[in-house]
């Protein structure tokens, strides 16, 4: 599991771990919509198997975003006197907005890694 997570965060091909899934080398500091390579440059593995292949990645993205929102709330609540201060909502919105590009890339990579053995 930790080995797969390392490969996911390195944007590596799920089969050979040498090619890159996204054209951007770094999935952390990229803004805008992700551009995926169609095939791995090293082993020729096809990343997008069929139209709609990444619809399931939306659920991974949703879960990741909810977890980040809850974590942001848990951290931010210590800086306010009330239990639920409405000023926390914009903080959560800013954090989620800043992490959107990373979440989209990470969820697609996680989806590819989850089903790499089933779709060859």
- Summarize pLDDT for 26-46 with one digit per residue, the tens: 666 666 677 888 888 888 888
Contact 52/111 with Cβ under 8 angstroms?
Answer: no
Whether the per-residue pLDDT at 53 is higher than 60: the answer is: yes
Would you state the structure tokens that stand for residue 100, as one six-digit string? Answer: 């959107």
pLDDT attached to residue 29? 67
What backbone torsions phi and psi does residue 88 show, to the nearest 5 degrees? -75, -30
Beta bridge partners of residue 12, listed in sequence order: 20
In eight-state DSSP terms, residue 82 is S
**CA–CA distance, 17 with 28 (Å, rounded to integer):** 18
pLDDT attached to residue 63? 96
Q: Diameter of the chain by CA atoms?
A: 56
Contact 68/95 with Cβ under 8 angstroms?
Answer: yes
Burial 6-17 (b: 16+ CB within 10 A, else e): ebbeebbbbbee
Whether the per-residue pLDDT at 62 is higher than 90: the answer is: yes
| Contacting residues for 47 by C-beta, under 8 A, at least 6 apart | 21, 36, 37, 38, 39, 40, 112
pLDDT attached to residue 97? 92
What's the mean per-residue pLDDT of the chain? 86
**pTM of the predicted model, to two decimals?**
0.81
Whether the per-residue pLDDT at 77 is higher than 80: the answer is: yes
């Amino acid at each position: 599991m930790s080995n797969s997570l390392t490969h996911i965060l390195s944007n590596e091909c799920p089969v050979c771990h040498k090619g890159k899934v996204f054209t951007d080398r770094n999935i952390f500091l990229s803004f805008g919509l992700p551009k995926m390579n169609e095939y791995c440059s090293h082993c020729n593995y096809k990343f997008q198997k069929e139209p709609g292949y990444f619809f399931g990645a939306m659920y991974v993205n949703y879960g990741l975003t909810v977890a980040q929102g809850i974590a942001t709330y848990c951290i931010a609540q210590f800086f306010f006197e009330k239990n639920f201060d409405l000023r926390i909502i914009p903080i959560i919105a800013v954090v989620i907005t800043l992490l959107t590009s990373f979440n989209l890339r990470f969820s697609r990579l996680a989806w590819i890694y989850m089903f790499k053995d089933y779709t060859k």
